[in-house]
């Protein structure tokens, strides 16, 4: 039996509805190839409903599970050095930190989290969950054998002792694997995973997932992700993802601009936990599953009592402060989560030093964080032009060691988002 004309398109439409994925030409080609291999005889829609192995192969064909260890390292370093110590200081004694990598691909991201927790000295008081819509990706994550490509970042190479060579691949050390719980979950479906030991997640990473979702799916998923956060919990999305604060129905969420320019989000401390997301009641949490593979590590209590570092704020500006000084002031305010105050200094910096690329990038970030999308779009485009005019590997002053090439990419990605946001 061969499949009727149009069946391929109907299967794609079904996938788009079920997983919320925007289907493009690349997906179609991959799916056609996989269908040719696993079910050339047809009957796809029926098998999708009844045959788990077939469903897994089809979902895997359209899921873009590209990931690597220590991706977006500036965010991760902020998580390790600022967010985790801050949460430890704020949460009650005995609280186990709850971290969730939503859309975790083959496990690179949740395993990276486990490594960061160990480096922050809090691995023995934290739980890490990774979920993905693709059962095949979750299964690959559980085997934890990776290609060199997944370890391509310098940060992963600096930690090569965590990976043992294994037949042309690299096997992640068993103690890291044992500290992470990987499960299949579709972000379009309720119930959402429940943290093992708390009313909500302290940290959710949902990076490079939202950009693949349809607008309808975003409106479903983003409010639920935010509702899954505990009060004071953090949401990390990737630079190329649509901003969660722009999604209708999302509850209060503060944008926090990182010293290196990216933005992450925090649910206000005062927001009640377990808010109801949009029209759909948030499900009662399933009883926590035991973690059979989890091992307790040695106590790190002595090392975890690090208070959140207070952002050091320069004194008020002198009348003769120049563009770079105003830019530094704006960046310090952004890093302290005070974008409205940063905006004035960033505008002054861009006015006083019109060719200073970091001033325009900072202005874009401050404007974006305060909802001034047209200003942000213009500033990001100017920043991209100015960074492009520099040598790509020049380390940029006022930007914590980032290169001009990386900052040009960042400015361009933001400019694209704010091109759409400005209309």
Task: Say whether residue 63 binds ligand SAM (CB under 6 A).
Answer: yes
Task: Say whether residue 47 binds ligand SAM (CB under 6 A).
Answer: no
Q: How far is the CB of 397 from ligand SAM (least distance, A)?
A: 29
Task: Say whether residue 224 binds ligand SAM (CB under 6 A).
Answer: no
User: Site for ligand SAM (CB under 6 A): which residue of 65, 77, 321, 402?
Assistant: 65
Contact (Cβ atoms closer than 8 angstroms) between residue 62 and residue 31: yes
Contact (Cβ atoms closer than 8 angstroms) between residue 14 and residue 48: yes
Number of H helices, E strands in the chain: 17, 10
Find the radius of gyration of the CA atoms of the chain. 22
Decide: helix, strand or coil at residue 380: helix
Closer of 224 and 373 to ligand SAM (Cβ): 224
Q: Whose CB is nearest to ligand SAM? A: 63
Task: Say whether residue 188 binds ligand SAM (CB under 6 A).
Answer: yes
Q: How far is the CB of 327 from ligand SAM (least distance, A)?
A: 30
Task: Say whether residue 208 binds ligand SAM (CB under 6 A).
Answer: yes
**Distance (Å, whole) CA 59 – CA 48:** 10
User: Site for ligand SAM (CB under 6 A): which residue of 23, 34, 38, 64?
Assistant: 64
Stretch that binds ligand SAM, among 63-71, 154-162, 286-294, 357-365 (CB under 6 A): 63-71
Q: What is the DSSP letter of 121?
A: T
Task: Say whether residue 21 binds ligand SAM (CB under 6 A).
Answer: yes
Number of C-beta neighbours around residue 291 at 10 A: 15
Task: Say whether residue 27 binds ligand SAM (CB under 6 A).
Answer: no
Task: Say whether residue 112 binds ligand SAM (CB under 6 A).
Answer: no
x-marked contacts with ligand SAM along 238-277 as a string, rule CB under 6 A: x---------------------------------------
Number of C-beta neighbours around residue 362 at 10 A: 32
Number of C-beta neighbours around residue 81 at 10 A: 16
Task: Say whether residue 207 binds ligand SAM (CB under 6 A).
Answer: yes
User: Site for ligand SAM (CB under 6 A): which residue of 138, 209, 225, 383?
Assistant: 209
**Distance (Å, whole) CA 38 – CA 53:** 10
* Cβ within 8 Å of residue 205, ≥6 positions away: 99, 100, 101, 102, 109, 113, 236
**Distance (Å, whole) CA 357 – CA 396:** 9
The count of chain residues that interact with ligand SAM, using the rule CB under 6 A, is 25
Specify which residues 55 forms β-bridges with.
none
Closer of 134 and 362 to ligand SAM (Cβ): 134
Contacting residues toward ligand SAM, per CB under 6 A = 19-21, 63-67, 71, 103-105, 109, 132-134, 137, 186-188, 207-209, 212, 238
């Amino acid at each position: 039996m061969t499949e009727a004309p149009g069946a391929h398109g109907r299967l794609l439409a079904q996938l788009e509805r079920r997983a919320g994925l925007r289907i493009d030409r690349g997906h179609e080609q991959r799916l056609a190839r996989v269908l040719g291999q696993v079910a050339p005889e047809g009957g796809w829609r029926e098998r999708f409903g009844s045959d788990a192995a077939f469903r897994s192969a089809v979902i895997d064909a359209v899921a873009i599970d590209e990931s690597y260890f220590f991706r977006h390292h500036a965010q991760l370093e902020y998580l390790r050095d600022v967010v985790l110590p801050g949460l430890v200081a704020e949460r009650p004694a005995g609280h186990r930190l709850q971290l969730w990598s939503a859309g975790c691909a083959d496990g690179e991201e949740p395993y990276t989290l486990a490594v960061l927790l160990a480096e922050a000295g809090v691995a023995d008081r934290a739980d890490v969950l990774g979920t993905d819509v693709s059962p095949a990706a979750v299964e690959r994550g559980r085997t934890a054998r990776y290609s060199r490509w997944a370890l391509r970042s310098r940060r992963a190479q600096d930690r090569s002792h965590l990976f043992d060579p294994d037949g042309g691949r690299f096997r992640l050390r068993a103690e890291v694997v044992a500290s992470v719980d990987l499960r299949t979950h579709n972000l379009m479906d309720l119930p959402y995973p429940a943290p093992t030991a708390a009313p909500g997640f302290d940290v959710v990473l949902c990076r490079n997932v939202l950009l693949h979702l349809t607008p309808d799916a975003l409106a479903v998923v983003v409010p639920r992700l935010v509702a899954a956060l505990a009060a004071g919990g953090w949401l990390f999305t990737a630079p190329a993802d649509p901003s969660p604060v722009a999604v209708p129905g999302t509850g209060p969420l503060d944008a926090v601009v990182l010293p290196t320019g990216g933005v992450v989000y925090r649910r206000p401390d005062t927001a009640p936990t377990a808010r109801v997301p949009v029209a759909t009641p948030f499900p009662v949490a399933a009883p926590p599953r035991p973690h059979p593979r989890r091992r307790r590590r040695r106590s790190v209590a002595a090392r975890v009592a690090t208070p959140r570092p207070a952002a050091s704020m320069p004194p008020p500006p002198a009348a003769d402060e120049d563009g770079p000084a105003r830019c530094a002031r704006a960046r310090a305010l952004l890093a302290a989560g005070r974008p409205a105050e940063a905006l004035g200094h960033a505008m002054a910096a861009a006015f006083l030093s019109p060719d200073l690329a970091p001033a325009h990038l900072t202005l874009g970030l401050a404007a974006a964080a305060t909802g001034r999308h047209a200003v942000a779009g213009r500033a990001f485009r100017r920043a991209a032009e100015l960074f492009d005019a520099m040598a790509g590997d020049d380390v940029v002053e006022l930007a914590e060691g980032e290169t001009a090439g990386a900052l040009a990419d960042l400015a361009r990605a933001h400019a694209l988002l704010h091109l759409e946001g400005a209309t």
